[in-house]
Amino acid sequence: MSQALTTAHSVVAPSPLSKRIAGAIVILYALVSMIPLAWILMTGFKTPPDSIAYPPKIVFAPSLEGYCNLFTTRTRQTQEYIQSLGPPQTICDEITRKRDMVIAGPSNYVPRFWNSLVIAFGSTFFAVSLGVLSAYAFSRFRIPLADDLLFFILSTRMMPPIAVAIPIYLMYRKLGLSDTALGMILLYTAVNVSLAVWLLKGFIDEIPREYEEAAMIDGYTRLHAFFKVVLPQAATGIAATAIFCLIFAWNEYAFAVLLTSGEAQTAPPFIPTIIGEGGMDWPAVGAGTTLFLVPLLVFTVLLRKHLLRGITFGAVRK
Amino acid sequence: MADIALRTVTKHFRSVTAIDGLTLDIADGELTVLVGPTGAGKTTALRIVAGLEKPDQGEVWIDGHNAADLEPAARDVTFVFQQYSLYPHLSVFDNLAFPLRSPARRVSEPEIRKRVEEVASLLRIAHKLANKSTQLSGGEMQRVAIGRALVRKPSVYLMDEPLSSLDAKLRGDLRVELKRIQQDLGATILYVTHDQIEAMTMANRIGVIDKGRLIQVGSPRQIYEDPVTLYVAQRFGQPQINVLPAGLLPNGALPVGAVTVGARTEHLDLRKDGGGEAVVEWVEHLGDQNHLHVRLGAHRITTLTPPDTPFKSGDRVAVGLTKPLYFDAQGLRVRSA
Ligand SMILES: Nc1ncnc2c1ncn2[C@@H]1O[C@H](COP(=O)(O)OP(=O)(O)OP(=O)(O)O)[C@@H](O)[C@H]1O
Ligand SMILES: [Mg+2]
């Protein structure tokens, strides 16, 4: 019976052995690709000397110095001055004083991180919103030159975005958009919207139009039907698209370096500029990178139910 | 309630003519069944009445108003789609309540609950109201789809093969149920089906369409007894009408132009006759009746006999005709002068 079924679909159930081999390969791959992540995580908890020790230390006494340094700026002081201060208020006070320094103030990490959040989530929101609306239009209405327009939209993604960096840099300076969150949101939205339109059109094409038609016959307007019927059905596609857009905007480095330097600087260009005494402050960089991974991780985990189905581009939808 | 009138409606999809000059009147409170082969344009006809497609030519009148400029929502119709009509993200209850919650209607939640429960028990899905609509069998889904049309009291019901995925028993039950509901409500229904029993038993009138054209419209009796083409004759009647070369069996003078003769059970006279030219091949027992398969030269004739039939396989029989139907080379009916 099951034999007949599997042959009918020309799919052979994997044998236990091949399953185990496949599992081993996946685990091995996962381990290898997690080494850099583990390294970053560890570096964040090392002391500066441990972080540059050679041979590298796998076992070390964990310290919060990296995290303290990430969030603060410090100045060197004389022993007498430090002793004249009261007892340390926080664990970071204590760690800093051991290095003959005192905390001078907060670092720029939090504002830079905040910029990243605003710009990445903002541009994702706009790219997905615009994407879902135009994908719906392309999917449902007869639009003159629809195919050419779709190809044009796709073609904006055909060259690496950085190829237009210089014109954009000049344009943004003229328009006063350099180093503004608005400018970065517009830019990332523009880059992502083509991806969003194409991904979402595939998903919306698969939603039978009878769903909206039934709603429209029942007295809903098209817009109502869009929100009540199409959006919930496209949730999978929207989630998958949002994750792709967010990953791009969150990690984007080249434009961020070029177009942001102060007010609107995002975390990716900021993190590598964390300098400690005598060079890069690797534990602080490790700490900053670790924290930088958290929002993407949370977002992806929250949407993973949709992502798993979405990433197959509707191929296994019921 | 309302009447519907289609006036020379034509609809093209690029090179395909889905509906070709369709003129059809559906009287108030009448159930009209559209039958026709796949691709005949039945669904398209319903969609045009619903306002989901704009006809290229012709007019649709609903309740005495030209519907040309009416949006689907303004036509006060409901549509049971051939497939895909339940919202997978909603429960059965919410699916049934969906039409009542539209901004065009103001129905209070207690009233919605009452109407939904009424319809659900009518369709025997009351115990499934809390289910997700994806957790239903095909038959249950189709009942919910019908229920969605019934919770509203529209002036016109459009139903596209609403019973097609149900098993025979449920289909029979619902057929009777739908017909009863229609009579109680005095509902105007335009109903598409492939099932001739549904068409014969439910319809006030049957319209047969093929390639977008209306071939014949009439009461089930007219369509059965007086088909205008061979296709219509073949579409109705169990077993299917026997088609033989005209003149194969003696039956007086042939009408002019007759090429084929169509003979149903009631047109055939079978007598046991040792010298007969036909042979009973086998008797198919269906329980309440039998199908008799008879071979006549290169032709085969199938006819009904009572369960206590005197015929058995191998019997020689003589075959005669009484008032059969004649068709010309194009399959059009030709009548005796
Ligand atoms: N949206 C469309 N675009 C292009 N062609 C269409 C469209 N809708 C219908 N057609 C064509 O119009 C013709 C009639 O289709 P329709 O769906 O009305 O047939 P039907 O009688 O309902 O068939 P079935 O019994 O298979 O449901 C078919 O040839 C079909 O291919
Ligand atoms: Mg159809």
A2 — pLDDT class (breaks 50, 70, 90)? very low
B-chain residue closest to A234, CA distance: B89
What pLDDT score was predicted for residue A3? 42
Question: Hey, where are the domains in chain B?
Answer: 4-230, 238-334
Long-range contacts of A55-60 (CB under 8 A, 24+ apart): none
A309 — pLDDT class (breaks 50, 70, 90)? low
A308 — pLDDT class (breaks 50, 70, 90)? low
A318 — pLDDT class (breaks 50, 70, 90)? very low
- For ligand 1, atom 6, name the residue with the nearest CA: B13
Q: Are A269 and A108 in contact (CB under 8 A)?
A: no
When the pLDDT of each residue in chain A is averaged and rounded to a whole number, the result is 88
The residue type found at A278 is: G
Nearest by CB to B81, which of A210, A219, A318?
A: A210
Q: pTM score, two decimals?
A: 0.81
Ligand 1 pocket: which of B12, B15, B17, B42 to mutate (most atoms within 8 A of CB):
B42
Q: Does any ligand 1 atom lie closer than 6 A to the CB of residue B74?
A: no
Q: From the CA of B39, how far away is ligand 1's center (Å)?
A: 5
Domain B238-334 classification at class level: mainly beta
Which percentage of chain A shows pLDDT scores above 90?
60
- Provide the 10 A C-beta neighbour count for residue A74: 21
A-chain residue closest to B47, CA distance: A213
Strand order in the sheet with B4-13: B16-26, B4-13, B57-62, B65-66
What pLDDT score was predicted for residue A256? 93
A216 — pLDDT class (breaks 50, 70, 90)? very high
Q: Does any ligand 1 atom lie closer than 6 A to the CB of residue B13?
A: yes
A243 — pLDDT class (breaks 50, 70, 90)? very high
What pLDDT score was predicted for residue B248? 84
Q: Does any ligand 1 atom lie closer than 6 A to the CB of residue B176?
A: no
Sign of the CA dihedral with B17 first, then B23, B28, and B33 last: negative
Q: What mean pLDDT is predicted for residues A3-30?
A: 76
A110 — pLDDT class (breaks 50, 70, 90)? very high
Q: Does any ligand 1 atom lie closer than 6 A to the CB of residue B333?
A: no
The residue type found at A145 is: L
For residue A213, is pLDDT > 70?
yes
Which percentage of chain B shows pLDDT scores above 70?
99
- Provide the 10 A C-beta neighbour count for residue B327: 24
List pLDDT tens digits, range A25-35. 999 999 999 99
B111 — pLDDT class (breaks 50, 70, 90)? very high
Residue B165 vs residues A210, B46, B116: alpha-carbon distances, Å = 18, 19, 22
List pLDDT tens digits, range B247-279. 888 777 888 888 999 999 999 988 888 888 899
Q: Do A218 and B71 touch (CB under 8 A)?
A: no
List pLDDT tens digits, range A136-151. 999 999 889 999 999 9
Which CATH code of 1.50.10.10, 3.30.360.10, 2.60.40.10, 3.40.50.300 fits the domain covering B4-230? Answer: 3.40.50.300
Q: Do A208 and B72 touch (CB under 8 A)?
A: no
Q: From the CA of B82, how far away is ligand 2's center (Å)?
A: 6
Q: Smallest CA–CA separation between A309 and chain B, in Å?
A: 15
List pLDDT tens digits, range B133-162. 888 887 888 889 989 998 988 889 999 999
What pLDDT score was predicted for residue B286? 87
Domain A110-273 classification at class level: mainly alpha
List pLDDT tens digits, range A69-96. 999 999 888 888 988 888 888 899 999 8
List pLDDT tens digits, range B162-189. 988 788 888 888 889 889 888 988 899 9
- At B217, give phi and psi (nearest 5°): -135, 140
DSSP structure class, residue A46: S
A135 — pLDDT class (breaks 50, 70, 90)? very high
Q: How far apart are CA A255 and CA A168, in angstroms?
A: 9
Residues sharing a CB contact under 8 Å with residue A38, sequence separation 6 or more, in sequence order: none
For residue A45, is pLDDT > 90?
yes
Residues sharing a CB contact under 8 Å with residue A45, sequence separation 6 or more, in sequence order: A60, A62, A63, A64, A66, A283, A286, A287
What pLDDT score was predicted for residue B288? 86
What pLDDT score was predicted for residue B10? 95
List pLDDT tens digits, range B56-100. 999 999 999 999 888 898 899 999 988 767 888 899 999 999 999
Q: Does any ligand 1 atom lie closer than 6 A to the CB of residue B87?
A: no
Q: What mean pLDDT is predicted for residues B233-240?
A: 91
Higher-pLDDT residue of A135, A278:
A135
Q: What mean pLDDT is predicted for residues B125-132?
A: 90
Residue among B16, B36, B18 nearest B209 (CA): B36
